[in-house]
Structure 1
Amino acid sequence: MKFFSSQHEFEYSWEEVSTNNWRKYCPWNDKADHVIAVDTLSRSLDKDTGILRTERLITCKQSAPQWLTTFLGSTDTSLVYEISYVNPASRTVTMCSQNLTWSELISVQETVSYKPHAENSGKTIFEQKAKIIALCGGWQKIRNSIEEATVERFKVNAVRGRDGFERVLAISREAFAEQRRAQAAK
């Protein structure tokens, strides 16, 4: 079992981040071109708590290491199941995801959260954690190799994902500002 974690401060308010979270796989995010489709499976609002719960299925282009596709066979897509919770009272967004593709070989459980910065309302704290468990029994060296390769991929993809989301946030802020300017000019 291996773990990955990272933390980042976005220079955007929690309101901006939580709203644009739904746009992070949009066409103008060139860092998310591996995402083929995002399908919403269900969405519900708890009337007592105000928490919005959403289940999604994310389909991605697969780019597994050559040694792994040789071992398991090639597949060009992968599926990820995600449940997210938006809690307006505590001002948190939490997303939990689990791989569905190759789940008999490896389990990747990821949790991402966005919370307002404690000292600066114009910033948002992003935390990302993943637990990676290779499930091939008995072969410790292979399990370690799979887990280590997955952690390394997470490191690269985490930076790429943050960069892409920064772009979405910047474009959205500029579009909103342009819209306000246009309305003020009327």
Structure 2
Amino acid sequence: MKFVSSQCSFDYPWNYVSASAWKKYPNEMSSHVVAVDVLRREVNPETGILTTERLITCRQPIPRWLLAIVGGRDTSYVREVSEVDPVKKTLTLRSCNLTMNHLLSVNEICTYSPDTSDFSKTVFNQVARIEAYATFQRLCNKIEDWSVERFRQNAAIGKLGFESVLQKLANTVPEGMFKEVSTA
């Protein structure tokens, strides 16, 4: 089992980033994401929390040795459940792979929250647990190492892609529309 984590900051307020997250895909940097389908969306009337369940379809090259094990598929599916809490000002995304989960489990949690020292910025935290299941530990290690490297590459590309989406949307949104105000 391996863990991957990262943190970064976006130079936009939380209201803007959390609203823009729904437009993250497609983008020119993350061409491996080919479809995003909303399966369920509901608002809790007591808490105001918006919960959304999505199916994300990805297509990316997989090494030959891994294709031999999994049957030659380059299309995979990910289930994502997100919660937007307007009171705590958090957007939390939990995702897990549906494809090949008998061989490899990838569970990721991403959170977007206001930067408490600068409300014009948003802090992004990402944590993933990657675990391979195979008869031989050496094979598990090889699958996990490859998956960690691919995860890191996709995360870096995803950040660049989301930055471009944020920039494009910033050019179309009236100035001040998403201005963040401290409630403290």
What TM-score results when the alignment is normalised by the length of structure 1? Answer: 0.91
- Number of residue pairs matched by the alignment: 176
Give the secondary-structure state (helix, strand or coil) at the position aligned to 1:118.
coil
CA contact (8 A) 1:31 1:163 kept: yes
Give the secondary-structure state (helix, strand or coil) at the position aligned to 1:17.
helix
Measured after TM superposition, the shift of residue 176 of structure 1 is 1.3
Q: Any unmatched runs of 5+ in structure 2?
A: 178-184
Measure, in 2, the Cα distance between the counterparts of 1:42 and 1:62: 26
CA contact (8 A) 1:62 1:75 kept: no
Residue 74 of structure 2 is matched in structure 1 by 76
Alignment of 1:7-26 (within 5 A): 7-26=7-26
What TM-score results when the alignment is normalised by the length of structure 2? Answer: 0.92
Give the secondary-structure state (helix, strand or coil) at the position aligned to 1:156.
helix
Residue 141 of structure 2 is matched in structure 1 by 144
Q: Any unmatched runs of 5+ in structure 1?
A: 181-186
Consecutive aligned runs of 4 or more in structure 1 exceeding 3 Å deviation? none
Identity %: 47
Residue 4 of structure 1 is matched in structure 2 by 4
- Residue by residue over 1:67-115, the C-alpha shift from the partner in whole angstroms, topping out at 9 and shown as x without a partner, is 1012322113100001000000000000000001111100000111000
Amino acid at match of 1:85: E
Give the secondary-structure state (helix, strand or coil) at the position aligned to 1:164.
helix
RMSD (Å), alpha carbons: 1.3
Residue 181 of structure 2 is matched in structure 1 by none
**Residue 150 of structure 2 is aligned to residue 158 of structure 1:** no
Residue 84 of structure 2 is matched in structure 1 by 86
Give the secondary-structure state (helix, strand or coil) at the position aligned to 1:56.
strand
Measure, in 2, the Cα distance between the counterparts of 1:155 and 1:59: 18
Measure, in 2, the Cα distance between the counterparts of 1:72 and 1:83: 26
Measure, in 1, the Cα distance between the counterparts of 2:141 and 2:76: 22
Amino acid at match of 1:108: V
- Residue by residue over 1:125-179, the C-alpha shift from the partner in whole angstroms, topping out at 9 and shown as x without a partner, is 0011100010113x1111011111111111111110000000000000011148x
Q: Which has the higher helix share?
A: 1
**Residue 124 of structure 2 is aligned to residue 126 of structure 1:** yes
Measure, in 2, the Cα distance between the counterparts of 1:11 and 1:163: 13
Residue 115 of structure 1 is matched in structure 2 by 113
Amino acid at match of 1:133: E
Measure, in 2, the Cα distance between the counterparts of 1:125 and 1:61: 29
